[in-house]
């Protein structure tokens, strides 16, 4: 007989809107994070506010948006119609309240469920909003969703529009820090998708005249094989070319929202662009050969879009509008007409494109035998027992639900890999152990990925041989010592990723683990310090008589201590490519034969303190040996 005594009416709770958001923030803004990842919650808060301003522009109201971010405080000012003054408080504090339920007012809006701004309000220690309409201003101030100030309507000379400022709650977002490159990318994407819109971010002006064509030009890696093909139609815009690196690189958008995880429109474009090109040449090329090295952007506008989460990173809509044409048919019909016509009118581009396809086909066939041997070798190496200590999530029903929580640490040496393995979260964190320094893969072809055991096993561990969407870990963390050798291993791994799998870096999957340089402690207190400045501050707090330990390598840190550095307080430095950076230029500069320049780069970028720098400078032979090894 079932015992119901522990389940009574007292167990049933009704939460108000802000309590529910604060209790389950992940349901509304995805993962929390500290700002190290582009999809961390603090950026979602900014995006939710910006989306409302963008929707105003899309509806023809306001051509300028001002954004300021300083010391964690964020403000967004648009010059749209402004929130109706009598509804200012309701719009930011009542779930299922907003103008986007009226399809006449917001036909193809990003947000349709009236939750976004409320989530920002509930998850901010300070939230202030004011709206200006026809010379009148209405203001409201909140703390963690609680209304603190509800001002009366007052006269003003300000222009119509809405102003929102917020400070993410440090009870929710611990030690958070906004990274400018992530915000710049977000701002640029809004500009590419909304020509005529000007965004001012911290005093800098952003705008785009050519939409997705500008996006590809500003993000392309070196010169493309042929001029960017830019096509536009009703509710759709695409741009693409082929580059000189491996893989496929896509930027997909729906109603101005960057769908970083793709979705139905992304899949339909990949399928359709290959089909239309094959039909044009009347050849049965492999689709993978057609798309090899493609760099493309696709933007569609959808009525009542269905996303797979509140953060809107993946489109689930099967139709362009309810009861209308399917997404696949819509994109295929567009490309069948526009792209086919373009290729007929531009035979030189078509000829270059076919040569590229044939080159990819030739390389694929040459690699086919090697790939089979490499797969067999990876199996015989007992990958999951020797090189890779995998995480349990891949063997449970939680695989898809918690994929974003997964991390792979790549480290070198038995001591370091042993410490991380013993102190990791076995559910979500895996460890790959390198054997010595990786090969310098600069200037080599993809053949080396299969012939070199280390590279072959890394590729197998990540499961990225055929499709980047199969990536088994959301974060790939390079964990090396903070010395010359560690820096060199880091550079060799980055060369491998940038050379053969650049999308891993471009999609913000690659990080560098920051570990403490010093431990300062006495019998009552212990502080871990990541810089000389932190060491000095710790000494002031603990006292001059404190014991100071200098960690010279990851292997010197015990597993009991290591768990502090790869747990909730983990410090990760994302590997970012600045706007307009060429991967080929970066690799040739740092990994080519310019030895003196590379030596200087290594020295200038070491995370070591003065005493260690002295030792390295005195031992020039060590640097010379590193260059010979590369």
Lowest mean pLDDT among 141-150, 334-343, 427-436: 427-436
- Asked if 176 contacts 34 with a C-beta cutoff of 8 angstroms, the reply is yes
- Rounded to 5 degrees, φ, ψ at 430 are -115, 160
pLDDT value at residue 214 = 94
**pLDDT at residue 572, rounded to an integer:** 86
Q: Is the pLDDT of residue 470 over 50?
A: yes
Q: Positive or negative, the Cα torsion across 531, 533, 534, 538? A: positive
Q: Are 517 and 611 in contact (CB under 8 A)?
A: no
- The last residue of one of the domains, among 180, 206, 232, is 206
Residue 607's pLDDT is 37
Give me the domain span that covers residue 133.
Answer: 17-206
**Section 181-198 average pLDDT:** 93
Same domain, 433 and 485: yes
Share of the chain above pLDDT 90, in %: 35
E strand segments, 94-176: 124-133, 136-143, 146-150, 154-155, 161-168
pLDDT-derived band at 611, boundaries 50, 70, 90: very low
Evaluate whether residue 522 is within a structural domain.
Answer: no
More confident position, 543 or 600 = 543
Residue 500: which pLDDT band, with cuts at 50, 70 and 90?
confident
The band of 378, judged by pLDDT with boundaries at 50, 70 and 90, is low
Verify that 198 and 317 share a domain, yes or no: no
pLDDT at 382 over 60: no
Q: Which is more confidently placed, 267 or 596?
A: 267
Specify burial of residue 628 (Cβ count, 10 A radius: 0-12, 13-18, 19+): exposed
Q: Which residue has the higher pLDDT, 329 or 579?
A: 329
Residue 458 has pLDDT above 60, yes or no: yes
The confidence score (pLDDT) of residue 394 equals 73
3-state secondary structure string across 429-497: EEEEEECCCCCCCCCCCCHHHHHCHHHHHHHHHHCCCCCHHHCCCCEEEEECCCCHHHHHHHHHHHHHH
Interatomic CA distance for residues 184 and 522, integer angstroms: 44
For residue 406, the cross-strand partners are: none
- Residue 526 placed within a domain: no
Q: Indicate the residue among 182, 206, 230 that finishes a domain.
A: 206
540 is a domain residue: no
Q: Are 303 and 108 in contact (CB under 8 A)?
A: yes
What is the pLDDT of the chain when averaged over all its residues?
Answer: 82
Tens of pLDDT, residue by residue over 283-304, are 999 999 999 999 999 999 888 7
Does pLDDT of 592 surpass 80? no
Residue 455, Cα to own-chain centre: how many angstroms?
24
Q: Which residues of 207-222 are buried (b: 16+ CB within 10 A; e: fewer)?
A: bbeebbbbbbeebbbe
536 part of a folded domain: no
Q: Which of 176, 206, 236 is the last residue of a domain?
A: 206
In this structure, what CATH number is given to the domain that contains residue 351? 3.30.230.10
Quick one: 144 and 276 in the same domain?
no
> Using 50, 70 and 90 to split pLDDT, how confident is the model at 130?
very high
- Whether residue 73 is found in the same domain as residue 202: yes
Phi and psi at residue 233, to the nearest 5°: -155, -175
Give mean pLDDT, residues 105-129: 74
For residue 240, give the nearest of 207, 266, 203 by alpha carbon.
Answer: 266
- Alpha-carbon gap, residue 299 to 308, rounded angstroms: 18
CATH number, residue 564: 3.40.50.670
Higher local confidence (pLDDT), 383 or 159: 159
Same domain assignment for residues 352 and 402: no
Residue 523 falls inside a structural domain: no
Q: What pLDDT does 626 receive?
A: 44
pLDDT at 563: 84
Between 8-12, 91-95, 406-410, 584-588, the lowest mean confidence (pLDDT) is in 8-12
Asked if 115 and 45 sit in the same domain, the reply is yes
Q: Where residue 131 sits, what CATH number does that domain have?
A: 3.30.565.10
How many structural domains compose the chain? 3
What's the number of CA atoms in the CB half-sphere (13 Å) around residue 258? 25
pLDDT top residue among 482 and 265: 265
- Position 616 scores a pLDDT of 34
Question: CA 283 to CA 470: how far, in whole Å?
Answer: 28
**Backbone phi, psi, residue 500, to 5°:** -110, -25
* Stronger pLDDT, 30 or 354, i.e. the higher one: 354
Handedness of CA 342, 344, 346, 351 (dihedral sign): positive
Give residue 588's pLDDT.
58
Regarding whether 439 and 330 lie in a shared domain, the answer is: no
Do 412 and 561 have their domain in common?
Answer: yes
CB 517 within 8 A of CB 609: yes
72-115 pLDDT per residue, tens = 999 999 999 999 999 999 899 877 555 554 444 445 555 544 56
Higher-scoring residue by pLDDT: 399, 178: 178
Indicate the helix (H) or strand (E) that contains 281.
helix 264-281
| C-alpha span between 95 and 116 (Å, rounded) | 9
Residue 521 lies in a domain: no
Mean pLDDT score, 451-468? 84
583 and 482 inside one domain:
yes
Q: Which of 162-171, 204-213, 376-385 has the lowest mean pLDDT?
A: 376-385
In this predicted structure, the answer to whether residue 397 has a pLDDT above a threshold of 70 is no
pLDDT at 552: 77
Q: pLDDT higher for 452 or 579?
A: 452
Query: What are 617-628's pLDDT values in tens digits?
Result: 333 344 444 445
Contact 410, 476 (CB under 8 A): yes
Q: What is the pTM of this model?
A: 0.75
Mean pLDDT of 174-183: 89
Residue 326 lies in a domain: yes
How does residue 587 score in pLDDT terms, banded at 50, 70 and 90?
A: low
Does 440 have pLDDT greater than 80?
A: yes
Which are the contacts of 438, defined by CB distance < 8 A and separation ≥ 6?
452, 454, 455, 489, 492, 493, 496
Structure tokens at 451: 């012939």
Residues 473 and 576 in one domain: yes
CB 303 within 8 A of CB 110: no
Count of positions (residues) in the chain: 630
Q: Is 560 exposed, middle or buried (0-12, 13-18, 19+ CB in 10 A)?
A: exposed
My answer on whether 201 and 226 are in the same domain is no
Residue 189 within any structural domain of the chain: yes
Q: Mean pLDDT throughout 385-394?
A: 78
591 and 608 in a common domain:
yes
Mean pLDDT of 579-586: 60
Residue 464's pLDDT is 82
């Amino acid at each position: 007989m079932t015992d119901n005594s522990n389940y009574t009416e007292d167990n049933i709770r009704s939460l108000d809107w802000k309590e529910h958001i604060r209790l389950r923030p992940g349901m509304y803004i995805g993962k929390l994070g500290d700002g190290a990842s582009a999809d961390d919650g603090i950026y979602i808060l900014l995006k939710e506010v910006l989306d409302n301003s963008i929707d105003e522009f899309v509806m023809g109201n306001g051509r300028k948006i001002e954004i300021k971010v300083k010391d964690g405080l964020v403000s967004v000012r648009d010059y749209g119609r402004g929130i109706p003054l009598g509804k200012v408080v309701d719009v930011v504090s009542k779930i299922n309240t907003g103008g986007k339920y009226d399809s006449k007012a917001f036909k193809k809006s990003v947000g349709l469920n009236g939750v976004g701004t409320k989530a920002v309000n509930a998850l901010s220690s300070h939230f202030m909003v004011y709206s200006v309409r026809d010379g009148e201003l209405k203001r409201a101030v909140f703390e963690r969703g609680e209304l603190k100030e509800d001002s009366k309507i007052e006269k003003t000379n300000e222009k119509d529009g809405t102003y929102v400022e917020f400070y993410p709650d440090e009870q929710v977002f611990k030690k958070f820090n906004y990274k400018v490159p992530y915000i710049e990318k977000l701002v640029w994407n809004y500009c590419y998708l909304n020509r005529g819109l000007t965004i001012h971010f911290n005093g800098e002006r952003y705008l785009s005249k050519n939409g997705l064509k500008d996006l590809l030009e500003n993000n392309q890696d070196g010169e493309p094989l042929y001029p960017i093909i830019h096509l536009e139609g009703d509710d759709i815009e695409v741009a693409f070319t082929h580059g000189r690196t491996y893989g496929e690189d896509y930027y997909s958008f729906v109603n101005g929202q960057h769908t970083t995880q793709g979705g139905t429109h992304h899949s339909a474009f990949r399928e359709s662009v290959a089909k239309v090109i094959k039909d044009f040449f009347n050849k049965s090329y492999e689709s993978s050969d057609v798309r090899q090295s493609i760099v493309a952007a696709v933007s569609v506008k959808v009525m009542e879009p269905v996303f797979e989460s509140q953060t809107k990173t993946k489109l689930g809509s099967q139709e362009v509008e309810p009861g209308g044409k399917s997404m696949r048919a819509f994109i295929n019909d567009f490309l069948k007409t526009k792209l086919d016509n373009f290729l007929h009118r531009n035979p030189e581009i078509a000829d270059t494109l076919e040569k590229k396809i044939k080159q990819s086909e030739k390389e694929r066939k040459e690699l086919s035998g090697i790939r089979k041997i490499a797969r067999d070798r990876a199996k015989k190496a007992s990958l999951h027992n020797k090189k890779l200590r995998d995480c349990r999530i891949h063997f449970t029903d939680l695989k898809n639900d918690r994929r974003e929580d997964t991390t792979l640490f790549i480290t070198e040496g038995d001591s370091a890999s042993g410490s991380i393995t013993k102190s990791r979260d076995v559910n979500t964190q895996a460890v790959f152990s390198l054997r010595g320094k990786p090969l310098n893969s600069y200037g080599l072809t993809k053949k080396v990925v299969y012939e070199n055991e280390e590279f072959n096993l890394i590729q197998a561990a990540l499961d990225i041989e055929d499709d980047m969407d199969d990536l088994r870990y959301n974060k790939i963390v390079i964990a090396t010592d903070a010395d010359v050798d560690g820096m060199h291993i880091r550079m060799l791994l980055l060369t491998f990723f940038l050379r053969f799998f650049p999308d891993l870096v471009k999609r913000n999957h690659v990080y560098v683990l920051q570990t403490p340089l010093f431990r300062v402690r006495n019998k009552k207190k212990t502080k871990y310090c990541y810089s000389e400045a932190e060491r000095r501050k710790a000494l002031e707090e603990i006292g001059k008589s404190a014991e100071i330990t200098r960690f010279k390598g990851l292997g010197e840190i015990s597993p009991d201590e290591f768990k502090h550095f790869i747990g909730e307080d983990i410090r990760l430095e994302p590997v970012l490519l600045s706007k307009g950076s060429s991967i080929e230029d970066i690799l040739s500069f740092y990994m080519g034969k310019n030895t003196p320049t590379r030596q200087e780069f290594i020295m200038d970028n070491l995370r070591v303190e003065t005493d260690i720098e002295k030792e390295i400078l005195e031992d020039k032979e060590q640097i010379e040996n590193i260059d010979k090894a590369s």
